[in-house]
Amino acid sequence: MIKVTLVVYSLVLYLIAPLALIALTRKHSNKPYIGTRWKEYLGIPSVAKSDKPSIWIHTVSVGEVIAASQVIRELRLSYPDTPIIITTTTTTGAERVVNLGIDVIHQYMPFDFTWAVRKFIKHHNPAFLVIMETELWPNTLVTARKMEVGVAVLNARLSEKSYKNYAKFRTIFSKLMSGVSLVLCQHNQDKQRFSKLGVNPNSLHTTGSIKYDFKVSQTQIREAIRLKKILHRNKYCWIASSTHEGEDEILLKIHHSLLTSYPDLLMIIVPRHPERFNDVYKMALGYGFSSVRRSHICESSNTEKVNVLVGDSMGEMQMYLAMSDICFMGGSLLGEAVGGHNVLEPAALSIPTITGPSYFNFKEITESLAEHNGLFIANNADEIFNYIHNLLADEPNRATIGRNANNVFKSNQGSTAKAVNLLRGQINL
């Protein structure tokens, strides 16, 4: 049964791979260009072969790289002479790996063809593969097992919706997961769902979410202070973070309404995807805002009338948040299309946050913050407007909610240490 399923899956993958390759390698003005490294998607390496066994860590893009960064640092310290290979799918993720400043090798994740994964493993000689969250590619799992590469899933989560989908193929799922020696779950609910799907109970552990363990960048805090001085006329500031197409228009209209009561209010809008930076900037101008792009600000900038700042840079979200009094988290107004983004960065900076009704990707974190009065869940544009307006009007309450959020963030730290200890017990070099 599993052989037939993998054959069908592989045939479908052959059909869609050319389109995926075009999309991933297309040149964008605001996105790093892959150049000749596109061959890595086919398992063809761009670095020299090492005879030493390596540790392979797969992340997808920027968010996963950031989340895994502390684990990567700890493994680097634990295995100082071992090559560590970090794979990402996107070029923005690749750029983030380089910016970590850790001695690791970056490669693009090969497409999930057996032959491509075999090429990758033969060249890089990984003794162990750590998969961030639930990037469970069938041929990769099967090939890793056959080539005796240990596998762990880090920060694993399994929503009720995903569980129901996998449950339709329980036998196949449990077979694919048979080569996974560790599944480090964020929550007990995730652990229970994996167990119901036939995953070996001895491999299942609840370690919490490593996303709580990131460090606030003092460099970005200092840059936020510098930019705030340039934009000094804006007494208050709110941020629309990680927005998607379909949300920007709604949020810009909300800002237009807020300016009636707060004429000096600054809005920072940071699109999730860099290829949309210019479109959002043009949209802000089209709505009549005095708008500027972060990349165009310098000490001599004339920012006296600016009321919309478009965040057109990557890896500076903490800086944008540190400039802000209130955060709205994007990706949460589009139903099941996205499912929200990580609300922990504003919590780490004691910033009260508002999210839309779709946050299933961060359900436990979001509801924990809401339960402790550190976050608001808004169902529509009117509620978003009211929350922002009321928070701007009540500074003591705004500070209290920010502290509540920060307390939740701090009280959940420590997952990285648990995860790394378990990984050390499995990594056999």
Domains of the chain listed by start with CATH number: 2-209+413-424 (3.40.50.11720), 218-411 (3.40.50.2000)
Q: Tell me which H or E stretch contains 240.
A: strand 237-243
53 near 121, Cβ under 8 Å? no
Comparing 1-5, 221-225, 259-263, the range with the smallest average pLDDT is 1-5
The angle that helices 160-167 and 188-196 make with each other, rounded to 10 degrees, is 10
Amino acid at 184: L
Interval 398-424 mean pLDDT: 96
Query: Do residues 138 and 9 touch, judged by C-beta distance below 8 A?
Result: yes
Buried b (16+ CB within 10 A) or exposed e, 36-68: ebbebbbbebeeeeeeebbbbbbbbbbbbbbbb
Copy the structure tokens of residue 238: 């709110």
pLDDT greater than 80 at residue 30: no
Helix, strand, coil: what percent of the chain each, to 5?
50, 15, 35
CB 330 within 8 A of CB 241: yes
Say what the alpha-carbon torsion angle 93, 97, 99, 103 is, to the nearest 10 degrees. Answer: -170
pLDDT of residue 315: 84
Instruction: Tell me the pLDDT band of 115, cut-offs 50, 70 and 90.
Output: very high
Instruction: Average the pLDDT over 120-131 and give the result.
Output: 97
Instruction: Measure Cα distances from 414 to 131, 214, 250, 288 in Å.
Output: 19, 10, 38, 47
pLDDT at 281: 97
pLDDT cut 90: percent of the chain above it: 76
CB distance 129 to 90 below 8 Å: no
Dihedral sign for Cα atoms in the order 321, 362, 405, 352: positive
Residue 415 and residue 326: Cα distance in Å, rounded?
27
Residue numbers annotated as active site: 64
Question: What local confidence, expressed as pLDDT, does residue 4 receive?
Answer: 81
Q: Could you tell me the sign of the dihedral formed by the alpha carbons of 307, 313, 314, 320, in that order?
A: negative
pLDDT of residue 429 exceeding 90, the answer is: no
Of residues 382 and 428, the one with the higher pLDDT is 382
Q: What per-residue confidence (pLDDT) applies to 134?
A: 80
**Does residue 44 register a pLDDT over 80?**
yes
Q: Are the C-beta atoms of residues 385 and 357 closer than 8 Å to each other?
A: no
List pLDDT tens digits, range 184-218. 999 899 999 999 999 999 999 999 999 899 889 99
For residue 116, CA distances in Å to 87, 121, 144, 214 come to 14, 9, 12, 33
Place of tokens 């005796």: 148
